[in-house]
Each structure stands twice: as structure tokens, then as C-alpha cells.
Amino acid sequence: MSRFTRVEEPKQLSSCNAALCSQLQTREQVTASPVAKWTTKGSIGVTATQFHVLLPLFSMSSASHDHGFRTRVTATLSVRDWPRAMEFYKRAFIAVETYRVPGGGVASLSVDGAEFWVAEESPPHQNFSPESLGGCSVRMLLIVEDPRAVCERAIAAGAKEVHPVSDQHGWRLGRIVDPAGHHWEIGRPLS
């Protein structure tokens, strides 16, 4: 005797199923497909529709890698003096410019493949520099092989030391504030 039992379910989708399905297909396409529920004794059933909808949801990230696209999160640092900030990041972090908007004012930089953006502040677009705000709401974390050397280079390029590099909580970490007012923690895990 099989431990699975097939139970026919009406084609009407529950609101939960509809929300899941709307991310991948239209409700009409999903509603029109055959729906069967498979259950085991004492368990909650999963419909065939749910299974086929959930499977792509769980594999979206691997599917994106199959096509060469990589999802990333990056920061755009708003600065008051864009040319000065660009020069600082290039000297302090040996950053390489990877893209510049024609005419300047916005560019992408890379530090050993770790990308971030630098943009001239734009109050009409609600993009303010730490200088305009009187502080910043985000700290950058730059993970490097030699935090002490990078902090020293940043200070030589014009940054101010906030916390010297030290070993605590499993990290070697120091903190600087750059000339535009952005705080950078520069470190690496110790293990």
C-alpha cells in the first residue's frame, strides 16, 4: 500500500496559491492547469501547482547563474566634491574606475573586484552627502588582506582614523572617515 494518497482539488486557487503563482505566471495560466494534491498520512498536502510554482522560486538564483548574470548589492556614495572624492578612493584604496557617466559626476569604482559608485550629491533627488547631513547613515565595510596597510594608505591620502586596527571578536578591523564624510571599516576575519 502506498503512503501517498491523491486527492483531487478544485481548480480554484486559494489566495496564498494565487500570490505564489502571480510571481511566475498569470492566474489564468495556473488556474487552467490540472491540480492534484498529494498527501502523506498526517501531513499537509502540496498541490501539483504549488510544487511547480515553488520549484522555480527555489532555483531562481541558480538559474540566473546559468546565464552569466550575477545579482549584487552595491552602494552609491553621495559626495559634495566628486573629483576630490574620486581621487581619494583611487589613492587610498587603489580603486580602478570601471564606468563614468559622460560629463562626470557619477562613476563606478572597483577595489579588487568589489564595486561601489560615487555620485555628486543631488538634493533635488534626495541624494545628500554626509557633509550636508552632518553625519552618515551607512558604514562601508571593505574586507582586504592587510587592513593595517590599507588604513595607513587611506590616512596618508586624507582620511581620519576613527578606531585603530585591532583584533576583536574574530576580526582584525579599523575604522576611518574619508574626506567626504563616509565611514569605512577596513578589516578581515581572523580565522
- Which of 32-36, 78-82, 93-97, 187-191 is least confident? 32-36
Q: How confident is the model at residue 162 (pLDDT cuts 50, 70, 90)?
A: very high
Q: What is the largest CA-CA distance in the chain?
A: 76
Chain mean pLDDT for the chain:
77
**Which amino acid, residue 9?**
E
Domain boundaries, position 35: 4-66
- 2 versus 172: which is more confidently predicted? 172
| 41: Cβ contacts below 8 Å, ≥ 6 apart | 3, 5
Domain boundary among 66, 86, 114: 66
The whole-number average pLDDT for the span 7-25 is 40
Q: Are residues 105 and 152 in the same domain?
A: yes
Same domain, 27 and 48: yes
161 and 113 share a domain? yes
Both 60 and 84 in a single domain? no
Q: Are residues 23 and 87 in the same domain?
A: no
Same domain for 96 and 158, yes or no, is yes
Statement to judge: residues 88 and 54 lie in one domain: no
175 and 98 assigned to the same domain: yes
pLDDT in tens, 2-14: 444 444 444 443 3
Count the alpha carbons within 13 Å of 170 in the hemisphere toward its beta carbon.
2
Q: Do residue 19 and residue 82 come from a single domain?
A: no
Query: Could you tell me if 89 and 179 lie in one domain?
Result: yes
Take residue 45 and report the three cell numbers written for it.
498536502
Look up residue 68 and give its amino acid.
G
Confidence (pLDDT) at 41: 42
Residue 71 lies in a domain: no
Which has the higher per-residue pLDDT, 54 or 157? 157
Q: Whole-prediction pTM value? A: 0.64
pLDDT single digits (tens) 49-87: 333 333 343 444 444 456 788 888 899 999 999 999 999
Predicted pLDDT at 137: 85
CATH number assigned to the domain comprising residue 172: 3.10.180.10
